[in-house]
Amino acid sequence: MNYNIQSKKDYDSLIERIKKEANGPINGTYEFCGVSCEFKGTTDQIKEIFEISDEFEYNFVQAISMFKKKQIGPYITEKYFHIIPSIKEAIKQFKIDCFETRRCVIDFPEEHCFRSIQFLLRDNTINVVCFMRSCDAIKNLPKDMWLCSKMADILSFYINKTLGLHPYKYQKIKMMFGSLHVYAKDLNE
C-alpha cells in the first residue's frame, strides 16, 4: 500500500487507517508491513503540515553539523553525525558517473531504523528514496519525513557549492517501511 501525504488531513487519515486496519497487537504495536508513504513539495511545506518549528530544525542541524550529542525530539543526534560527511561523499558519484547516477546513496548503521537513502536527480527535482526497517507513525514519521527533505536540501546546497549547479527546491520523497506502526499505548492520546 502507498499513502500520499500532502496535508495534515492525509496524515491523520493514515493514522486512523493504522488504528482500524493494522495487524496487532504485535509487541505492543499495531502495524502495516511493507507499506510506503510519498510526499511531493518542499521542506517548508513539510514543516507546515507537521508543525515542525524553526527552532527544532535549527537545533538539529546545528547539533549534527557541530557533532554535539543531544536529544532533539525523537532523535539522538550522534546517530546522525555521519549525514553531512556522507552527503559530501555521495556527491562524488555525480562527478564520477553523471547527474543521472543511481549510486548516490547514504547507508545507516545496523541499529538505526533508517537503512538507506538514495538521491536521484531527475527533471529538476531531487527524488529521495528512503528505506526504513521500522517507524512509529505517530512519534517519528513526521520528523523522519522532514529529515529526508532536509537531507535533500543539504544535498542541493552542496551540489550548488561544489558543482556550481542551481539549487533544487522541489522534492519527491518516497519512504518504504518494513513496519509502519502505532504503539497501543498511544492509540487513545
pTM summary value: 0.90
Please count the other Cβ atoms lying within 10 Å of the Cβ belonging to residue 37: 25
What percentage of the chain has pLDDT greater than the value 70?
97
Report yes or no: 10 and 48 within 8 Å, Cβ to Cβ: no
- Which tops the pLDDT comparison, 100 or 104? 104
Beta bridge partners of 3: 37
At residue 44, what is the residue type? D
Give the number of C-alpha atoms closer than 13 A to the C-alpha of residue 146, restricted to the C-beta side. Answer: 24
Mean pLDDT of 140-163: 91
CA dist list (Å): 115 to 45, 74, 107, 108, 178: 25, 17, 6, 5, 10
The pLDDT score that the predictor gives to residue 44 is: 94
CA quadruple 97, 123, 14, 153: dihedral positive or negative? positive
The yes-or-no verdict on residue 189 having pLDDT over 70 is no
CA distances (Å), origin 131, targets 12, 70, 73? 22, 25, 21
Enumerate residues 6+ apart whose C-beta is below 8 A from 69. 63, 76, 77, 78
Asked if residues 125 and 57 have their Cβ atoms less than 8 Å apart, the reply is: no
Residue 64 pLDDT greater than 80, yes or no = yes
pLDDT digits (tens, 9 = 90+) for 14-39: 999 988 888 878 888 899 999 999 99
What's the grid cell of residue 64? 549534527
Three cell numbers at 67? 557533532
The predicted structure's pLDDT at residue 105: 87
- The residue behind cell 529526508 is 148
